[in-house]
Structure 1
Amino acid sequence: MKLLPLTAVFLILYLTRVSATLEPRLSYKKRQDKPACRNTHTIFSKDTGAWNADSSPEGTFDITPDGLKMNILPPEHYERLIHAETKLPYNKEAGRGPTFNSSTYMHYGNFSAKVKSSPVGGAITAVILIADGGDEIDFELIGGVPHTAQTNYFWGKHPLYTVNGGTHDIEGAPVYEEFHEYVINWTPDVIVWKIDGKEIRRKERQQTCEENGVCKFPSHPARVQIGFWDGSYEFGTAEWAHGPINWDEHDMISSYLQEVVVECDPDYNQIVD
């Protein structure tokens, strides 16, 4: 039996590893199994376009000249509790807020949202790419925090919290007084977060790869999701959200969504009308 030179063996092993590493991000293109994706530009002062509002209870949104007014309504039974060990306050029930989902999935591309968040601590405005299998890329705006936004990403069915997040300064007017533009650029190799046209964070796929070749990088088709939710119902979340909300002081809490632009990458998506 003829033996291969040692260098050839190493080359074969290397190419096998590279092929395995590249397979997840190329598989959709190879199989032509591209998700249907619609390029959209929705002006919410007119209507909600093709956005799905099925997860939004009655009264949690209104069309206004300033855009989509998203409302958190009080819980049916408001009760303030104190966690026994940490002594942190939280609410027994959360208020009811809206969630809007894009009508199609996107496998890489860009999207932007112009948002004015809430001045009330405990109310979270979320701008998200979320996949059915658990992958997620997001912005979150904490109510009452004037000049920062938080970014995060998750991978797979068992997400690691408090690991991949970041907090970023925002120039200009407070985020709850004027609209700011939040952008996510998502490719097979990198995620870029931008605010008002300025890059504030970048995460490259190769930075997420482990020694076994698994790259914990969001890579599954995802829908764009915009939400406004009450973070008061669990003591740790309430502390993070600068809550809990005191519903004795509010009949309703609001934030605004002015417009959303979705641009699908044609290399990985089937563009539909």
Structure 2
Amino acid sequence: MVRRPRCGFGLASVSTLATAYVALSTYLTYTPSHGTRTLGLFVRAANAPAGGAGGGSGSSGGTQACGWAYQCPQESPCCTEYGQCSAGVACLSGCNPQGSYGQGYCAPVPACQSNNYTFADSSRIQQNGTAWNGDATQFDFTLDTLDGSKPAIVANDELVLTLTQNGGGTKVSTTRSVLYGTISASIKTVGAAGVVTAFITMSGVKDEIDIEWTTNNTDTWDSNWFWQGDVGNYDHGATEQAKNRDEQYHVYTIDWTPSQLSWAVDGNTVRTIQKANQTNQRFPQTPSRVQFSVWPAGISSSPQGTIDWAGGMINWQDPTYLAQGKAFKAHVQWVDIQCYSGSDFNLPFVQDNSSSSSNSSSSSSRLRERAELWPRAQNVNSYIYGTNNSAGQIGVMGSNAGTIINSAYSTGQNMIISNGKTQGVKQGIGSGALADTVVGNWWQRQNTGVHVGIIIAGCLITLFLIVCVCTLWARRHRSRKTRASQATILAAAAGPRAGGSAGTTSSSATLSKSRNGPPGGDTVPLVQHDNRSFYADSAKNYSGYSLPGSRAPAYDRLRDEQYLGGGGGGGGGMAGRGTPPPPVPMVPKQYSDFGGGGGGRRNAPYGGPGGAGTGSARGGPPPRQQQQQQQGGRGVYPPRQYGGSRPPPGQQPNYPGSYGPGYGGRI
């Protein structure tokens, strides 16, 4: 028996791989702050602190948040927008230079480009935030947070922002930052108490401009702004009007220049503030990403002031929530960004990556000097942070520096990691070299569902190939064993004919005398033979006499008499035949003398005298048969199934219609 090989792996392994991948993707995408349970998406209220649209301002696990009061260590030098220290993606847009280890550790920020964005599909949205590598030519938006229900981010040519009871909400950010300009979007909001829909700008140092919709009053919205996260006396907000905002699309606009900031709805300006009128001219003036989000403010983990500002606790049995498949949804039809290029925008310029290539303590001062020497460039590729002035305002320069990283160890000081030179930085969040390939670019554009499907398909294909290989191996192994078995049988069968050898075990058994055996007490060998060796045996030996008194089937007996009866005389037998007879087993030599006729031995003990064509194939009945006949027993020779009873003395047996005298040939 061939034992089947134990190889391959089960579907449970595929399921385990898929489950692990989904869990990892969910963790990295849903919790960009790596531990913050609530999204903390831009809490803005008269009594709510400034924060961030994608996470709380504090870090998880009780670790001190980086920022004004605490800078990150050199081994994890970049301060994320969520107040945590890391490297890689943490050093890209959203990196807070004031909480980072030092000057230039936040990577250059992709600069503003005027464009109108629509949502025919999700191909321009980077849906795996940890794979983002800073290449703004590849993607227009990043999916910073996806609701735990894993909804489609784009549907019916719209950006869809979803919130479910246990999902946490959704947030999307532009890959390029705006440093002054006009930003408009056509939006239909959520109109439920406790749910916040937000359209804002946010910089790495927490400069912020807000349009937010709260409460179940569907005719109002809030405008607000912050300088570097300073909430002041909570006096920056105002309430504006927009009828049926949860059922109708309205166009909301932020118009931001170096000297003033205004808000508009459907083309009508509803509010304006002047930089000159602010204390110490504290006014948003750093590169900011545009962000859209829906998040839960009316939940038990939120501060009471935030719950009150949002209109109370969320009703998860709200008719609108149930009608939309147990989900609150906001819709964005399009986004239009026009970068500011007025004459009052005097942006210093820094050539290439000079600001991020030096670890010298004097790099900050050199950066300031070079910025003053270079005129403002008309084609700025990126923005770079400088140092704070006496009023606490951080400097910003334009540059043609690159914005792409290639490793989770990358920082603004060491963006392209080569030869493992990480400069002592620990692995952070982040992108790898895969992002720089065609396959990597395509992969990054796919959502988590596509990733899981591809991985499962790959596992199934691998399983199929393994099963095929194992099956082929088993068949080959079985074939080898069969051939080996046949060779053993042939060798055993050939041994007695060759006389055997010492140490060779005979394949014959001993046949003791019995009522069917030959007379006398002698024991004779009983040949054991395998059908698979018949033809091999017959090619060398045509001796085919049966044992005396054996009760062979009719077909075998006829075959023996037809092919092996007559010898070299006229009785036929083998003479004149063009093909060899069918093979039969070898018999011991003492039984080869039983046959008669021309091919038999003369003076055979049981046969008639041999002659030219007159001899019988078997010569006569064996002694036991003769004894039975003489005693009137039941034995008849030849057997009655061959067509008759024993012929009279001296007459050859005649089988009707088939065989003639000597049994050597057909009539």
TM-score (norm 2): 0.31
**Partner Cα separation in structure 2 for residue 74 and residue 61 of structure 1:** 17
Please list every run of 5 or more consecutive structure 2 residues that lacks an aligned counterpart in the other structure: 1-107, 125-139, 348-377, 382-667
One-letter code aligned to 2:336? V
> Given the alignment, which residue of 120, 130, 134 partners 2:206?
134
Q: Which residue of 2 aligns with 1:56?
A: 146
CA contact 1:36–1:106 (8 Å) conserved in 2:
yes
Q: Which residue of 2 aligns with 1:163?
A: 235
Map 1:7-46; keep pairs closer than 5 Å.
36-46=111-121
**Partner Cα separation in structure 2 for residue 230 and residue 164 of structure 1:** 22
One-letter code aligned to 1:140? E
**Partner Cα separation in structure 2 for residue 150 and residue 135 of structure 1:** 17
Q: Which residue of 2 aligns with 1:220?
A: 286
**Partner Cα separation in structure 2 for residue 127 and residue 253 of structure 1:** 16
Residue by residue over 1:21-52, the C-alpha shift from the partner in whole angstroms, topping out at 9 and shown as x without a partner, is xxxxxxxxxxxx99622222111244363211
Deviation at residue 132 of structure 1 after TM alignment: 0.9
Map 1:84-95; keep pairs closer than 5 Å.
95=167
Closer/same/farther in 2, CA of residues 244 and 216 from structure 1, 3 Å limit = same
Higher helix share: 2
Residue by residue over 1:170-214, the C-alpha shift from the partner in whole angstroms, topping out at 9 and shown as x without a partner, is 2xx4000110011001001000100000000000001103xxxx2
Deviation at residue 121 of structure 1 after TM alignment: 1.3
Map 1:94-173; keep pairs closer than 5 Å.
95-160=167-232, 162-170=234-242, 173=243
Deviation at residue 158 of structure 1 after TM alignment: 3.1
Aligned pair 1:186/2:276, yes or no? no
Residue by residue over 1:94-130, the C-alpha shift from the partner in whole angstroms, topping out at 9 and shown as x without a partner, is x511111111111111101111011221111111011
One-letter code aligned to 1:148? T
CA contact 2:121–2:157 (8 Å) conserved in 1:
no
Please list every run of 5 or more consecutive structure 1 residues that lacks an aligned counterpart in the other structure: 1-32, 76-94
> Given the alignment, which residue of 177, 186, 193 partners 2:247?
177
SS of 2:308's equivalent in the other structure is helix
SS of 1:52's equivalent in the other structure is strand
SS of 1:239's equivalent in the other structure is helix
**Partner Cα separation in structure 2 for residue 264 and residue 271 of structure 1:** 12
**Partner Cα separation in structure 1 for residue 152 and residue 272 of structure 2:** 33
One-letter code aligned to 1:72? L
Deviation at residue 69 of structure 1 after TM alignment: 1.9
| Identity of matched residues, % | 27
**Partner Cα separation in structure 1 for residue 239 and residue 169 of structure 2:** 24
CA contact 1:135–1:218 (8 Å) conserved in 2:
yes
Deviation at residue 271 of structure 1 after TM alignment: 5.4
Deviation at residue 147 of structure 1 after TM alignment: 1.2
Closer/same/farther in 2, CA of residues 271 and 116 from structure 1, 3 Å limit = farther
**Partner Cα separation in structure 1 for residue 275 and residue 283 of structure 2:** 6
> Given the alignment, which residue of 66, 74, 92 partners 2:165?
74
One-letter code aligned to 1:55? T
**Partner Cα separation in structure 1 for residue 162 and residue 141 of structure 2:** 17
Closer/same/farther in 2, CA of residues 169 and 54 from structure 1, 3 Å limit = closer
Closer/same/farther in 2, CA of residues 51 and 263 from structure 1, 3 Å limit = same
CA contact 2:147–2:164 (8 Å) conserved in 1:
no
CA contact 2:115–2:336 (8 Å) conserved in 1:
yes
SS of 1:105's equivalent in the other structure is strand
Closer/same/farther in 2, CA of residues 74 and 203 from structure 1, 3 Å limit = same
One-letter code aligned to 2:310? A
Aligned pair count reads: 216
Larger RCO (alpha carbons 8 Å, 6+ apart): 1
CA contact 1:38–1:271 (8 Å) conserved in 2:
no
**Partner Cα separation in structure 2 for residue 241 and residue 96 of structure 1:** 16
**Partner Cα separation in structure 2 for residue 160 and residue 61 of structure 1:** 39
* Larger-Rg structure: 2
Q: Which residue of 2 aligns with 1:78?
A: none
Q: 42-51 or 232-241: which moved more?
A: 42-51
CA contact 2:109–2:177 (8 Å) conserved in 1:
no
Q: Which residue of 2 aligns with 1:47?
A: 122
Aligned pair 1:241/2:310, yes or no? yes
Compute the RMSD of aligned alpha carbons: 2.4
Deviation at residue 57 of structure 1 after TM alignment: 3.9
